[in-house]
Amino acid sequence: MDKVIHSDLFRPPHGHMGFRQYYTLRHHYRIIMWDLVTRDYSKRVRPEQVLENVKRYARNGSIITFHDSLKSWNNGNLKYALPRSIDFLKEEGYAFKVFD
């Protein structure tokens, strides 16, 4: 099971981490932050706006946050914006990479 779920990557919840947490975690994990939050979780953001956030703010090397949650799925944002964002980024020549 460890081979399936083990990762040395850590994304701080909400992007917040204290110095002590950072100091402790950095010895065991690679801390990964993001530079583009799509806001797919928000009921106040329409699916088209989520896609527009990707189109407007994605840059070379961006780490884009989509949420695999019922909140993002049930409001229609994830279902609409994720596949369209992937298509857009591919058309623009972006490549998708895996952290190893």
Domain range annotation of the chain? 1-33, 34-100
Contact in structure between 36 and 64 (CB atoms under 8 Å): yes
Rounded to an integer, what is the distance from CA 39 to the centroid of its chain? Answer: 10
Please give the pLDDT value at position 44: 94
Question: Can you tell me which residue has the tokens 């917040």?
Answer: 16
- Per-residue pLDDT tens for 15-54? 889 999 999 999 999 999 999 999 999 999 999 999 999 9
- Neighbour-count burial of 72, counting CB atoms closer than 10 A to its CB (0-12 exposed, 13-18 middle, 19+ buried): buried
User: Do you know the residue count of the chain?
Assistant: 100
Task: For residue 87, give the H/E element and its range.
Answer: helix 77-91
Residue 1 has pLDDT above 80, yes or no: no
Q: How confident is the model at residue 3 (pLDDT cuts 50, 70, 90)?
A: low
Please give the pLDDT value at position 72: 85
Q: How confident is the model at residue 71 (pLDDT cuts 50, 70, 90)?
A: confident
Contact in structure between 91 and 76 (CB atoms under 8 Å): no
Residue 68 has pLDDT above 70, yes or no: yes
Please give the pLDDT value at position 41: 92
